Amino acid sequence: MNDTATALPAPEAVTVGLVSISDRASSGVYEDKGLPALKDWLTRALLNPITFEQRLIPDEQEGIGTTLIELAQRGCSLILTTGGTGPAPRDVTPEATLAVADKVMPGFGEQMRRISAHFVPTAILSRQVAVVRGQSLIINLPGQPKAIAETLEGLKNSDGSGLVPGIFAAVPYCIDLIGGPYLETVDAVCKAFRPKNAIRHQR
């Protein structure tokens, strides 16, 4: 009898869209930090080979919407935006995101504000939303790299136990449900949650 374990299939390739929305960064006034932070976190968190589609654009609703549609059409299973989610007149990312939605996923925004509220009372001013367009999950994230990581990973107690789950734990199963690739995470960074009947294999 052959006791050799069956080799697991290699993780599926995934295309991810990253959109940093800022008038000043897109015009070269200062260096954009959103795209590098998103790329770094995803590279650490996912076992899948990733192709990144990156965009740095100004706070213009029409341009944001056009970019999101383009990335969805290019096969981005996940599209993450950063910036433009506050109450200021130029903050129009949520409006642009909702305008291209097939379905709204309010739980993501609720959880992001829950995480941020552990640090600042102004978390209630954040208007991040998440939507599904076709086979793409689009999520608005905060603008600061530290807040991006906290939102995606969640918060831990001093002993390392979970305090508040991050939103990324639910992302792989959501992408399963809309017909995208099977995302596999690095548990030490962010462990994906799936119902037992949706887990294909354990690494």
Percent of the chain with pLDDT over 90: 82
Question: Would you say 152 and 41 are in contact if contact means Cβ atoms under 8 Å apart?
Answer: yes
pLDDT given at position 161: 76
pLDDT given at position 1: 45
Q: 5: pLDDT confidence band, cut at 50, 70 and 90?
A: low
pLDDT given at position 151: 95
Distances in whole angstroms, Cα of residue 158 to Cα of each of 98, 154, 155, 179, 191 = 37, 13, 10, 38, 18
The tens digit of pLDDT for each residue in 83-122 reads: 999 999 999 999 999 999 999 999 999 999 999 999 999 9
Q: Smallest Cα–Cα separation from 168: which of 197, 130, 121?
A: 130
Q: 28: pLDDT confidence band, cut at 50, 70 and 90?
A: confident
Which tokens is 196 given? 């037992």
Mean pLDDT of 29-50: 95
Q: Smallest Cα–Cα separation from 115: which of 82, 85, 147, 88?
A: 147
Q: 203: pLDDT confidence band, cut at 50, 70 and 90?
A: confident
The tens digit of pLDDT for each residue in 137-190 reads: 999 999 899 999 999 999 888 877 778 899 999 999 999 999 999 999 999 899
The tens digit of pLDDT for each residue in 43-61 reads: 999 999 999 999 999 999 9
**What 3-state class would DSSP assign to 185?**
strand
Task: Flag whether pLDDT at 33 surpasses 50.
Answer: yes
pLDDT given at position 167: 97
Round to whole Å and give the CA distance between 134 and 137: 8
Question: Would you say 109 and 46 are in contact if contact means Cβ atoms under 8 Å apart?
Answer: no
Q: 20: pLDDT confidence band, cut at 50, 70 and 90?
A: very high
Mean pLDDT of 117-134: 96
Q: Smallest Cα–Cα separation from 136: which of 57, 47, 36, 53?
A: 53
Q: Which backbone phi and psi does 37 adopt, to 5 degrees?
A: -65, -45
**Element (H or E) spanning 130, and its range?**
strand 130-133
